[in-house]
Structure 1
Amino acid sequence: MDESGVNDGRNGCVKQIICIKWGTKFGPEFVNRLHGMVSRNITPPFRLYCFTDDGAGLHPDIEVRPLPVFDYEPPKNTLGKWPKSRLWGDLGDVKGVVLFLDLDVIITGNLDDFFTIGDPDDTWLGLNPNTPFEKMGQTSVYRMKVGNLAPLQEIFRADPQGVADTYRFEQRFVTRHAPGGVKFWPKGWMAHFRMHCVPNFPLNYIREARIPKGARIVIFAGNLNPPDAVAGRWDEQDVHRAPLDHIRAAFDGRRRESLSKHLRHYLRPVSWVQRLWRE
Structure 2
Amino acid sequence: MKQVICVKWGTAYGPEYVNRLYGMLRRHVTGEFRLVCLTDNAEGLRPEVDAYPLEELGCEWPKKSLGKWRKLVMWSADLGPKTGLSGPVLFIDLDSVIVDNIDGYFTHGHPDDVVLARNWAKPMQRLGQTSVFRFPVGKYPHIIEKFRADPQAVADKHGFEQHWVTASVPGGIKFWPHLWTRHFRLHCLPAFPLRYFKPAKLPAGARIVTFPGGPNPADVMLGRWNTQDPPHEKPWDHFRAAFTGGVKHRWRHLRSYVLPTPWLTQHWVE
In the superposition, the TM-score normalised over structure 2's length comes to: 0.94
* Mapped contact 2:63–2:152 kept (Cα < 8 A): yes
Residue 153 (structure 1) aligned with residue 169 (structure 2): no
Unmatched 5+ stretches in structure 2: none
Count of aligned pairs between the two proteins: 265
Show the 5 A alignment for 1:147-186.
147-186=138-177
Show the 5 A alignment for 1:19-34.
19-34=6-21
What amino acid sits opposite 2:199 in the alignment? Answer: E
Q: Distance in 2 between matches of 1:153 and 1:265?
A: 35
What amino acid sits opposite 2:137 in the alignment? Answer: V
What amino acid sits opposite 1:250 in the alignment? Answer: A
Unmatched 5+ stretches in structure 1: 1-13
1:56 aligned residue (13, 37, 43) = 43
- Cα shift readout 1:34-65 (whole Å, capped 9, x = no counterpart): 11011100101101000111100000110111
1:226 aligned residue (210, 217, 220) = 217
RMSD: 1.4
Q: Distance in 1 between matches of 2:16 and 2:249?
A: 31
- Cα shift readout 1:55-83 (whole Å, capped 9, x = no counterpart): 00000110111114552122233111000
Q: Distance in 2 between matches of 1:67 and 1:262?
A: 36
* Mapped contact 1:17–1:46 kept (Cα < 8 A): yes
Residue number in structure 2 paired with 1:250: 242
Q: Distance in 1 between matches of 2:11 and 2:238?
A: 31
Shift of 1:25: 1.2
- Cα shift readout 1:111-160 (whole Å, capped 9, x = no counterpart): 10001111101110010011111111000000011012211111101011
Does the residue aligned with 1:251 lie in a helix, a strand or coil? helix
Residue 73 (structure 1) aligned with residue 60 (structure 2): yes
Residue number in structure 1 paired with 2:75: 88
Residue number in structure 1 paired with 2:104: 113
* Mapped contact 2:57–2:70 kept (Cα < 8 A): no
Q: Distance in 2 between matches of 1:236 and 1:161?
A: 32
Q: Distance in 2 between matches of 1:200 and 1:37?
A: 28
In the superposition, the TM-score normalised over structure 1's length comes to: 0.91
What amino acid sits opposite 1:74 in the alignment? Answer: W
Q: Distance in 2 between matches of 1:94 and 1:47?
A: 9
Shift of 1:28: 0.4
* Mapped contact 1:68–1:87 kept (Cα < 8 A): no
Residue number in structure 1 paired with 2:118: 127
